[in-house]
Amino acid sequence: MKKKFIIYSLSFGLFLGSCEKMVKIEPQNAISPNVALTTIGGYEGLMNSAYNRLIDFSYYGRDFTMLGDVLADNVYTELSVSNNRWVGQNSNVRGAHYDIWSIAYSAINDVNTVINTIDANIKDANAALRVKTLKAEAYALRAMLYFDLARVYGYEPTSVTAGGGFNLSVPLRLKYTAGLPEAEQIPRGTITDVYASIESDLNIAIPLFPAGAGLSKDRFRMNKGAAYALLGRTLLYEGKWAAAVTQFDNAMNTTNTTARLIATGGYVSGFKTTPNPESFFEVVINPNTQLGGVIGSNDALYSYTHPTGYNGFKTFGGQTVSDELYALFEVNDDRFKMMFKYGGTSPTPPLFNWADKYSGATGPYADNFKVIRFADVLLMKAEALAELGQYTDAATLVTQLRTNRNATITGIPTDATIKNYIQTERRRELFFEGQRWFDLKRRANGVTKPAKTAIGTISASDYRLLAGIPTSEVALGLIQNPNY
C-alpha cells in the first residue's frame, strides 16, 4: 500500500514540476518581432505590406483614385441606379468624405519600421544594395503617405489663407510603434512641419535609389522618377513654383524614368496597358486574390463606373460623367473616346454619360491604379510656369499634350488666362483619377457642383473641404478640424 502511495505522489509531483512549460504554446500564424526582422526577406515583406495597404478600398484601391471627382464636379451620382454608393459624397453631406487615416498610418508604421531598424538588423554586405533601395522606397513612400494625409485632413500651404488660417496638418510620426510605450498620442503637426518632412524624406530617398531609369516593372514600386514627380507636386502645393519646375524636369528626364507621354490615339489603350506607359508609379492589384468573390463587384471602380449589364457584368454603377465635364470635350479628342452613353441597367433611354477608364483591364472588375502619371506632371509643370508668368512656355506644354490627344491646339491662351485653361485641361486629362478635388481645394477656387446635384457652389472657406479627424483620435486629444 505504501509503495503505491509513493508512486502516486511521485507521478503527481512530476506533473506539477512541468506546469510552467505545459501552458506554453507558440502561435503559428504569426511570429515574434525579434525573429521576423532578422532577414532582408522580412524587410521585403514589410515593404510589400506597405504597398499592399495602398490597395485598400478606402485608399488607392477605390476612394483615393476616384472620390476626388465625386466630391468635386466631374461626377454626378445617378440616384436611380447607384445603390446608394457615394450618394452622400456626391452631395457633400457632412462626414461623407475620404477616410484614409488608419490605412495610411498603418502603412507609415510599416515604412517607419524599415527606416528605423533596417540598418541595425541587416549587416550582410551582400544585401547592401537591397537595403539601400528598400530605404529609398520607404522614405519616398512615407513622403507620399504624409502628402496624402496632409491634403485630406489639412489645407495646403497655398490654400491655408482661404481656410481661415487653420494651420494644423496631421501628427508627424517618424518612429515605428515597437510596443505599447511607443503607441502614445502625438499632436497634429503644422502644415509647415509636415510639408518640410515630406520634402526631406524625398530628398533623402532620391539619391538612395539606384541610378538609371530602371525597368518598367519597377514602376509598380516607388522609384526615382516617381520620387521626383512627387517632390514636384509637393513643391507645387507649397507654391514653390520654380523649384517645382526643376523637379518636374528631373522626373520627366528619361534617365530617371521609363514613363513617357502617350502618342496620338493611344490614350484609351494606355489605360488598358500595364503599366500605363505614362505611369511613374502604378499600384498593382491582383484580380484573383485581391478582388475575389463578392469584393470585386462590390467595391471595384469598374463596378462603380459602369451600368449594370454593360458587358454583361453586375455592378453597383451610378458614378456618371457630369454634364459639365462631358460638355468640355471636342468630339475628336482621344480622351472623349473614354465616354459612352448607356441607360441605368440597359441600353434603353434615358441614357447617362459613363466613362470607361476603369474597364477591368487586368481581369474582371480589376484595374491598376495610377498614382502619378506623365500628363499630370506635364500639366503641373505648365501650371508652375504659368504661375511664374512664363505663359508661352506653359502654352507649349499644353500644346504638346493636346497634340498627343488629337485635340485642337488653337485658342490656347498665352496670357494669365492660361492658368484657368490648364485647370480645365487637367480636368479633361485627369478626370476620374482623383485629382480634381485637390486641384480645386489647393487653388482655393471653391467647388461648383454639377447642376443636377442642386447644391450650387461650396466656397473655399467651407469646412467640408477638410475631412474630419477620426473621432477616436479626437477622443485621445487631437484637435478636430473646424466644424466637425
Partner 1 sequence: MIMRKLIRSLFVLVFFVTGAMAQQRTITGTVTGKDDGAPIPGGSVRVKGTENGTFTKANGTYSLNVPPEATTLQFTYVGYVSESRVIGSGNINVSMTAISEGLNEVVVTGYSTQKQRDLTGAVSVISGKTIESLPVQTFDKAMQGRAAGVQVTTNSGQPGSGISVRIRGVNTINGSLQPLYIVDGVQISAGGLSTATTQNVLGTINPADIESIQVLKDAATASIYGSQAANGVVIVTTKRGKEGRTAIRASFQKGINQHMNPYEILNSNEYYALRREAAVNRALRTGVSVASLIANLNNSAFGSAADPVNLPSVNWYNEVFRNAPFSTYDLSFSGGNEKTKFFISGTYNDYDGVAKQSDYKKGGVRANLEHKVSEKFSIESNLNLSYARSTGYSPTPGFYINTPFTGALYIPPYNTVYMPDGSYRSGADLRGAQLNIVQSLMEELRSTKSFQTVSNLALNYKVLPELSLRAFAGLDFADAKNYNYRPSSIPAYASTGGSGSESFIRNINYNTSITANYTKTFNTDHNFSALGGFEFRSNEQTNLGASAQGFPSPLFKLISQAAVPLTTTSTYTGFKIASLIGSVKYDYKGKYLFSGNVRYDGSSRFGANYKFGWFGGASAGWRLSSEDFLKSAEWLSDLKLRASYGVVGTQPINDFQSMTLYSSPGSSGAYNGDATIRQSQIGNPLLTWEQTAQTGLGVDFAFFKNRVYGSIDIYQKRTSKLLLNRVLPGNSGFSSVFENAGKLNGKGLDFEITTVNLDMDNGFRWSTTFNIALTKNKVVEVNSGADRNGTNTIVGQPSDALWTFKYAGVNPADGRPMYYDKNNNITYNPVANDKGNGDDRIIGFNNPTSYGGFGNTFSYKGLTLDVLFQYQYGNSSYLQSAQLLEASGDGANNQVKSQLQRWTTPGQLTSVPRPYDNFFEPGGANPANMSSRYIQKASYIRLKQVTLNYKLPVSLTSKIGVPGISVFVQGLNLATITNYRGEDPENTGNNLNAYPNPKTFAAGLTFDL
Contact indicator for 100, 148 with CB cutoff of 8 Å: yes
Among 325, 436, 322, smallest CA distance to 68 is for 436
User: Which of 161, 185, 420, 424 is the binder for partner 1 (CB under 8 A)?
Assistant: 185
* Region from 100-108, 196-204, 373-381, 399-407 binding partner 1, contact rule CB under 8 A: 100-108
Site for partner 1 in 258-287 (CB under 8 A): 284, 286
Q: How far is the CB of 403 from partner 1 (least distance, A)?
A: 34
* Region from 34-42, 129-137, 245-253, 432-440 binding partner 1, contact rule CB under 8 A: 34-42
Peptide bond into 275 cis (omega under 30): yes
Under rule CB under 8 A, residue 239 binds partner 1: no
User: Which of 57, 91, 121, 196 is the binder for partner 1 (CB under 8 A)?
Assistant: 91
Q: How far is the CB of 237 from partner 1 (least distance, A)?
A: 21
Q: Which is nearer to partner 1, 279 or 435 (CB)?
A: 279
Among 106, 146, 114, smallest CA distance to 46 is for 114
320 backbone dihedrals φ, ψ, rounded to 5°: -100, 160
Under rule CB under 8 A, residue 120 binds partner 1: no
* Region from 63-71, 134-142, 178-186, 326-334 binding partner 1, contact rule CB under 8 A: 178-186
User: Which of 3, 6, 29, 120 is the binder for partner 1 (CB under 8 A)?
Assistant: 29
Q: Locate cell 470607361: which residue?
A: 356
Peptide bond into 33 cis (omega under 30): no
Site for partner 1 in 310-339 (CB under 8 A): 312-314, 316
Report how many residues bind partner 1 under the rule CB under 8 A.
Answer: 102
Site string for partner 1, 434-453 (x = CB under 8 A): ------------------x-
User: Which of 293, 327, 331, 411 is the binder for partner 1 (CB under 8 A)?
Assistant: 293
Cell representation of residue 444: 482655393
Angle (nearest 5°) at CA 43 between 100 and 197:
50
Under rule CB under 8 A, residue 214 binds partner 1: no
User: How many Å apart are CA 335 and CA 333, to the nearest integer?
Assistant: 5
Under rule CB under 8 A, residue 88 binds partner 1: yes
Under rule CB under 8 A, residue 51 binds partner 1: yes
Residues with Cβ < 8 Å from 304, sequence gap 6 or more?
Answer: 62, 66, 85, 86, 315, 316, 317, 318, 319, 358
User: How many Å apart are CA 69 and CA 63, to the nearest integer?
Assistant: 10
